[in-house]
Chain A
Amino acid sequence: MDNMTQAFILLLAGFVVVFVVLILLIIIVTLYGKIITAIQNKGKKKKTKAEETARKIPKEAVTVETYEDKGDDDGGIPDEIIAVIAAAVDAVYGEKPHKIKKVKKSRNTRSAWSRAGIIDNTRPF
């Protein structure tokens, strides 16, 4: 019985400590998130409107091109890849109504050298 009381106390202590520590983290992370966003927004407001409109992505960059695929329906593209492409399109379009009609693997016509150049120039870091 003594063991059980100890176990019960530990149960309560565990709940309390885990929640207190994590709630404390929530408060702090939320607060400093707000502070940082506020500071950064201040800096952004100084920029002229013209600059902001220039930064907007041109419309043609986000239009989804549809390809005609002969025969093979999914073109052998795995479901995961299609899900990722759909997620990316969704992230760009957001609330606007959109629909993906077809996803098709483009034929790689570039030479190895030009591919290496593209990889080198588009790598994030």
Chain B
Amino acid sequence: MEILQQLWQIICTLINESGLSRLSWENYVMVLVSFVLMYLAIKKQFEPLLLLPIAFGMCLVNLYPDIMGMPETQMLTEAQLIDKGVDPASYTTTILNGQTYYNYTENGGLFYYLYQGVKLGIYPPLIFLGIGCMTDFGPLIANPKSFILGAAAQIGIFLTFIIASALGIFTPQEAGSIAIIGGADGPTAIYVTTALAPQLLGPIAVAAYSYMALVPIIQPPIMKLLTTKKERSVVMGQLRPVSKLERILFPIIVVVIVAILLPDAAPLVGMLMLGNLFRESGVVERISKTAQNELMNIITIFLGVTVGATASGKVFLSLQTLGIIALGLFAFCLATACGVLFGKIMYKATGGKVNPLIGSAGVSAVPMAARISQKVGQEENPGNFLLMHAMGPNVAGVIGSAVAAGVLLSVLKV
């Protein structure tokens, strides 16, 4: 009889400790949301490299919230420590009312430690290092005017900031973090959000990466709406070849200028340009390969799961998330539209030599946005190759959104 009672007690404890009794309905909803994201990542291949770890991190943290748990310090007496089977000599002591207590620290959850890389702003610049190693700034050096289009697309960020502030449900810091989604640059969005509004990191990261995956659906209608058939069929002249010396000097010059003028953008732009210098110098091929493959993959895993793990049910399932998703889409559309409109201005200014379609590539989303410019251009004129021309504004957009991030950080950081 006693054995049965003990068995029952063990079963009761197990049930109490299991998710069945500890999780709230929000957690279950979030697990379902993560399943949807996993489906989108695997079946529809929406930015799977990031969306898959994000979705899984989201799933895991809602099933087992302690995985993000902070390390806790308890004050225990000597007797309690000995009960736990640990040696009191290895702990610091606090004396309170004549009684000696030992500061017993329990470790945090796995994701808590991995998340420090996000929280302290380490992962996004490291990702930028890898991106720098993979980016060819040649088209931008050959046609520096592309910088204008990269800047134009950032207008979307600041216009969205105004709208988000006007809604009244977001603080200026939160509004800034939401607006940066319009930069279409995941690492930048995460970097800004962790500094300004870390509580919104989950929804903002999910929105940013989802919209980047949806570039082929979101951009073409806006591009077609704002341009005429004649403008779309403009064939642009071939880009001039860029010498190796120019390629090597470019990252050095950019980092000097940006870091002096806008120190807050220095970590992102600095690492991007360091990576690019690795690539273009041609003397550190091993480092360059590691930065763009192994290092970047490792960081992507850590960044993905921990960003996903910030999306716990109570934070994610709120009216704010809906607002973020709507405003993020708005920011993205606006950025595309501003880029195309500036492309039109350049079309007029150059007497029809610039195809306005390359303007939409000013939102970062490398190289997807440039591919869309190519695709839409080719629909009008199958013999038109805009890809390399669109890569100019595209890589300028990466620098542009890092600069815009620097502006937001320097003004809004408390």
Contact = CB atoms under 8 A, between A and B. Distances in A.
Interface of A: 3-4, 6-8, 10-11, 13-15, 17-26, 28-30, 32-33, 36-37, 40, 83, 86-87, 90-91, 94, 125
B158 A15 contact: yes
A4 B166 contact: yes
A112 to B, nearest CB: 26
Which of B150, B155, B158, B243 gathers the greatest number of chain A CB atoms within 10 Å?
B158
Tell me whether chain B's interface is mostly helix, strand or loop, or mixed: helix
Contacts of A21: 257-258, 261-262, 403
B238 A91 contact: yes
29 contacts: A6-B172, A7-B172, A7-B175, A10-B408, A11-B162, A14-B404, A14-B408, A15-B155, A17-B407, A18-B151, A19-B148, A21-B258, A21-B262, A22-B396, A22-B403, A23-B151, A25-B144, A25-B257, A26-B145, A26-B148, A29-B144, A30-B144, A32-B249, A33-B142, A33-B144, A83-B378, A83-B385, A90-B383, A94-B238
Contact of A10 (B155, B242, B412): B412
Contacts of A7: 161-162, 165-166, 172, 175
B399 A22 contact: yes
Closest 5 CB pairs of A and B: A7-B165, A29-B144, A14-B158, A22-B147, A22-B151
Contacts of B257: 21, 24-25, 28
Contacts of A6: 165, 172
A30 B261 CA distance: 19
Given A13-B411, A26-B144, A18 B154 contact: yes
A26 B250 CA distance: 11
A13 B262 CA distance: 12
Contacts of B145: 26
Contacts of B245: 36
Interface string B147-174: 1101100110111011001100000100
Given A11-B159, A21-B403, A33-B246, 15 more contacts: A6-B172, A7-B166, A10-B412, A14-B158, A14-B161, A14-B407, A17-B262, A17-B406, A22-B150, A22-B403, A23-B151, A26-B145, A28-B253, A33-B142, A86-B383
B285 to A, nearest CB: 8
B249 to A, nearest CB: 6
B387 to A, nearest CB: 8
A11 B378 CA distance: 35
Contacts of B142: 33
Which of B151, B157, B238, B243 gathers the greatest number of chain A CB atoms within 10 Å?
B151
A88 to B, nearest CB: 10
Given A32-B246, A36-B243, A40-B243, A25 B157 contact: no
For chain B, the bracket of interface size reads: 35 or more
Contacts of B378: 83
A18 B172 contact: no
A11 B243 CA distance: 38
A18 B175 CA distance: 19
Contacts of B254: 25
B400 interface: yes
B370 interface: no
Given A25-B257, A94-B238, A14 B157 contact: yes
B141 interface: yes
A23 B261 CA distance: 13
A18 B249 contact: no
Contacts of A4: 162, 165-166
A3 B172 contact: yes
Contacts of B147: 22-23, 25-26, 29
Nearest to B241: A37
B151 A19 contact: yes
A11 B400 CA distance: 15
Given A29-B141, A94-B238, A11 B161 contact: yes
